[in-house]
Structure 1
């Protein structure tokens, strides 16, 4: 797997924002987004562009506390025709904010790594997943670079223990059961359910249940709940995988 620098992730986040804006340009903003029940494309844009602005403000200020996103003026245009362009603005200001400080500088973050570098990775994958949401809503083919997707799967596993808004995450523990996620392109992880929490490591080994997918991009969509695994791709205890997926929804 590729090892990413903070600067590379910040640049990739900008690229993904521009890609998402391209997908949305000229589309009907009232189109429902099935992956995000209750949202349409307008809601998807508002959320994603709002998160970009929220994070950029906190990183610029090296905020010691969480800013209230609902209290911020995001400057969203009144006319839906301007939504894609509003989203695209983040391709410039977000990487600039992320690169304005040392990646090791402390800043508020909800994950375990409370430094600026947390946010370059989080914003890259926040944007990738929501670009996928837009493509699925519009019936477009989904395409994710394999290096980006592999980092996205690992980032999901890294941040999952800190997703405290889903109480079921705390149930992801056990007596040593293992769940293996394997991509045909080479990336692979084994998750071990310990008595206190789960742990994961890069490994090509099978587990008590093994999910095999053609690509890391396919695995990324499965772990984020954007697609179901193919039945033939599950080896071993399918019930264990279903149990994991139900409790790891964030």
Structure 2
């Protein structure tokens, strides 16, 4: 996806999140236990500004996070969005930028990451408000499935295997096939780390559904009622346990 597309989607989801969450800043967020919508907006604002400062400085900003904005979480989110907009419109996606993902040290990594961060947390705001989920565009949902499986799960399970504990140590090399619309990924769970490939192998378990439904299940924002599961349910559960650690 192009950087201008990511920025356009961030703008849309920022607006929807702000409009939804600021109606009741004390509303609990069911998908983020212990958070209110005020906490949600503060978190997204912190995340935006952290990436802005990282791109500007070329190093992780410290101390962090900033003090709460006296004008409230909605105003803080708007200020953070303005900063992110400025960085992403003034930089090319191929420009160097510090990231935690060793294979991609570019501004484009953060454009993608912030678009998916905003989409998932916009869903959180809608869940808190008890409102229908605004559809996630198919191109972003497919991209997000790739990101969470490759960038979060596969990379992290090899880079920091100690963080995954028994869920990774007990993996035996069997695979889960994930079909999101026409897109297919094979996720092989092994004690040495998770491997993700584009493979039509059915695996020992499978998950299939529309891209949005798959993405939201992977991020634990949906219970999977809209998906089709087949094969070994324990293998699917192990995948879920590993994803929980990868996105903690």
State how many pairs are aligned: 238
> Residue by residue, what CA displacement relative to the aligned partner does 1:99-143 show, whole Å, maximum 9, x if unpaired?
323322322211232221111111011111111111111111112
TM-score (norm 2): 0.85
Determine helix, strand or coil for the equivalent of 2:64: helix
CA RMSD of aligned residues (A): 2.6
Question: Which among 140, 155, 160 is matched to residue 131 of structure 2?
Answer: 140
Determine helix, strand or coil for the equivalent of 1:189: strand
Determine helix, strand or coil for the equivalent of 1:39: coil
Which whole-Å CA distance do the structure 2 matches of 1:162 and 1:134 have between them? 27
- The reply to whether residue 37 of structure 1 matches residue 30 of structure 2 is no
Contact 1:211 1:233 survives alignment (8 Å): yes
Q: Structure 2 matches for 1:58-207, cutoff 5 A?
A: 58-61=54-57, 63=58, 65-68=59-62, 70-73=64-67, 76-79=69-72, 83-112=73-102, 113-142=104-133, 143-160=135-152, 161-162=155-156, 164=160, 167-168=163-164, 171-172=167-168, 174-183=171-180, 185-194=181-190, 196-207=192-203
Between 1 and 2, higher relative CO (CA 8 Å, sep ≥ 6) is seen in: 1
Which whole-Å CA distance do the structure 1 matches of 2:127 and 2:221 have between them? 9
Q: Which runs of 4+ in 1 moved over 3 A?
A: 88-92, 163-166, 169-176, 202-205
Which whole-Å CA distance do the structure 2 matches of 1:247 and 1:162 have between them? 10
Residues 169 and 88 (structure 1 numbering): CA distance in 2 closer, same or farther, change over 3 Å? farther
Q: Which runs of 5+ in 1 are unaligned?
A: none
- The reply to whether residue 230 of structure 1 matches residue 225 of structure 2 is yes
Counterpart of 1:13 in structure 2 is 10
Q: Which runs of 5+ in 2 are unaligned?
A: none
